[in-house]
Amino acid sequence: MTNKNYHLFIIILSFIFTLSFSYGLTKTKKTVPLSSYIYGITVDDSWNGKTKMQHIITAIKAMDVKPTVRIVMSKEISPEKYKKLFEEIHKVAYIMATPVDSYDMKKYDILSYLKRFKDSYEALSEYTDLWEIGNEINGEGWLGKNPELISKKAYAAFRYISNNKAKTVLTAYYSAPGEQQISMDKWLIKYIPDDMKKNLDYVLVSYYEDDNNGYQPDWKKIFRNLETIFPNSKLGIGECGNTHKKATVESKIKMVRHYYTMPKYVKNYIGGYFWWYWVQDSVPHQKNKVWEEINKSMKSS
């Protein structure tokens, strides 16, 4: 190789290296430990048969921040049948498993509720980072009419998951003042056992403003109150979404921006959000404005 050709080779090689390095930088996914912050999205079963699993995986993989995916499991589907979904999603995201959605809570007694969590843990613990032991735990009506029984179900799951040294999550349900007979705070104080209050890893809040006539809660006050009830727990938003029948892309984007860029209200605040209709609103993700806004808001928070 002549000296001239050698210098040309070095220049070309340097250019390729620089280009490759720059490309690599743009594709690097931001990964934050769950103990520091959670960037949540939700995947339930309503997409089944309408959206291919690979489209969901591709949309998650394309995100600039490694998200935490809540996977909501249907009662009629055994945990074993979720293995493939959990395995594939866990390659590109953290996972929070929800073996029992709030709307299925009343279909279980304490023993069957515990069995559901045992079966789920045995089948899926390899792929699961967080376990939601109670979803919208204080919701009135749709979880059943006996709050003490509801609490005992969640407590049984809490003890089992904790004894296996796995991370526990409790999601409460917030509503506008007067919408429920007992406020979220009072329900949690009255019905959640003391050792859960001291040892839950995460306590999240589900809130849908479309179900509350657009009411805007005082989040700082809410999380300060939760901080006193659950002094050792990480706190955040457990569910949100634009559920109105006339919701538009623009209204969804506005709501995404509102929640996913919330400030750190208290010391133990870790985000969350878990947009409920993420699959329906964001998949396929190419040229999808809601997906783009969630992704952008995660990057900036």
Residues 124 and 264 in one domain: yes
- Residues 151-172 have a mean pLDDT of 98
Residues 20 and 50 in one domain: no
Model confidence pTM above 0.75? yes
How many other C-beta atoms are found inside a 10 Å radius of the C-beta of residue 280?
15
- Residues 37-61 have a mean pLDDT of 87
pLDDT at residue 263, rounded to an integer: 97
Kindly tell me if the per-residue pLDDT of 5 is higher than 60. no
pLDDT at residue 183, rounded to an integer: 97
Q: How many domains does the chain have?
A: 2
Residues 22 and 106 in one domain: no
Residues 285 and 243 in one domain: yes
pLDDT at residue 187, rounded to an integer: 98
pLDDT at residue 19, rounded to an integer: 38
Residue 21 pLDDT class (50, 70, 90 cuts):
very low
- Residues 41-67 have a mean pLDDT of 88
- What is the per-residue DSSP string for the chain? --HHHHHHHHHHHHHHHHHHHHHHHHHPPB---TTT-EEEEEE-STTTTTS-HHHHHHHHHT-SB--EEEEEPPTTS-GGGGHHHHHHHHTTSEEEEESS-GGGGGG--HHHHHHHHHHHHHHHGGG-SEEEEESSTT-TBTTBS-HHHHHHHHHHHHHHHHHTT-EEEEEEE---TTSSSS-HHHHHHHHS-HHHHHH-SEEEEE--GGGGTT----HHHHHHHHHHHSTTSEEEEEEB----TT--HHHHHHHHHHHHT----STTEEEEEEETTHHHHHSS-TT-HHHHHHHHHHHH-
pLDDT in tens, 164-214: 999 999 999 999 999 999 999 999 999 999 999 999 999 999 999 999 999
Residues 120 and 3 in one domain: no
Kindly tell me if the per-residue pLDDT of 3 is higher than 60. no
What percent of the chain clears pLDDT 70, i.e. is strictly above it? 89
pLDDT in tens, 86-111: 999 999 999 999 999 999 999 999 99
Kindly tell me if the per-residue pLDDT of 26 is higher than 60. no
- Residues 206-226 have a mean pLDDT of 97
> What is the extent of the structural domain holding 224?
31-300
Per the prediction, the chain carries an average pLDDT of 91
pLDDT at residue 193, rounded to an integer: 98
pLDDT at residue 34, rounded to an integer: 86
Residue 156, domain CATH? 3.20.20.80
- Residues 243-270 have a mean pLDDT of 97
pLDDT at residue 33, rounded to an integer: 87
Residues 25 and 35 in one domain: no
Residues 16 and 92 in one domain: no
Residues 114 and 213 in one domain: yes
pLDDT at residue 74, rounded to an integer: 96
Residues 11 and 46 in one domain: no
pLDDT at residue 30, rounded to an integer: 79
Residues 132 and 145 in one domain: yes
- Residues 271-300 have a mean pLDDT of 96
- Residues 217-246 have a mean pLDDT of 97
Residues 14 and 39 in one domain: no
Question: Considering only 36-50, 144-158, 202-216, 278-292, which range has the smallest mean pLDDT?
Answer: 36-50
Residues 2 and 62 in one domain: no
Kindly tell me if the per-residue pLDDT of 10 is higher than 60. no
